[in-house]
Every structure is written in structure tokens, then in C-alpha cells.
Amino acid sequence: MEKIISEINNFLEKQAWCDFNIIEFNGKLKVGGKTSFNNEYDIIIVFEEIFYFQCLFSWQTDTSYKSFLIPEIEEQRDINIKYGIEQGYSLFKIIPEDIEGSMYISAKNIYIEYMR
């Protein structure tokens, strides 16, 4: 999972900007990112077997720093206890631009479906 998070952040670091939005939530949570004004997505991130998510429908990302993370153990523990997240799920943290606070997704798997 760390490898996928690293690939996402490496992709973002090469972009001037990237806007994300949820494009599907039907058993899987698909998040699409655009780095231009085209209608096509430049990256699609898929979270499988969602237990919990606290996320905006759309957000902007500051590509000058890592915005997709696996939280520190203490933060994971706090979120897992607060929301009753079951063992076996991984917690992912997203830091949006210009919004105070972070977004969280608890899922069993993450992968990149498409990346230009």
C-alpha cells in the first residue's frame, strides 16, 4: 500500500495542479484526478472494500507536497477507535488544498486504475 501511495504522490509532484472528485461509489470508491481542463482523468485511484470514509465530493490538491498518506500509528488508532473501524482495514489520509483538516478513507485495498 505504501508503494501505491508513493506512486500517487510521485505522479502529483510532476503536475502543476490536480483537481480530484469522486467518480464512482458502488462497492469501490473511485477517485479521479485531472491535471488539465480536459474532460478525461489523468489518474484514477480505486479504494476497495470501504469501511469508512470522510471525504469531500471534489477538492483541489497542492502538488508541491505529499497529499496522499498513510497516517502515523497514533492518528490511525484514534480514528479507528472513534469510528469503530474493524481490524484488517487500512486507513488513508488525504490533505486537500485550502481546506482546514484532512479527509480519511478506510479500505482493504488501494490501486491505481489509470495513470497517464
Domain positions in the chain are: 2-115
Sheet of 90-94, strand order: 58-61, 18-25, 28-34, 43-54, 103-115, 90-94, 68-69
**Per-residue pLDDT at 34:** 97
Which tens digits make up the pLDDT trace of 29-76?
999 999 999 889 999 999 999 999 999 999 999 999 999 999 999 999
**Per-residue pLDDT at 95:** 96
Task: Look up the pTM and report it.
Answer: 0.93
| Bridging pattern class, strands 18-25 and 58-61 | antiparallel
**Taking a C-beta distance cutoff of 8 angstroms, is the pair 110, 92 a contact?**
yes
**Per-residue pLDDT at 116:** 80
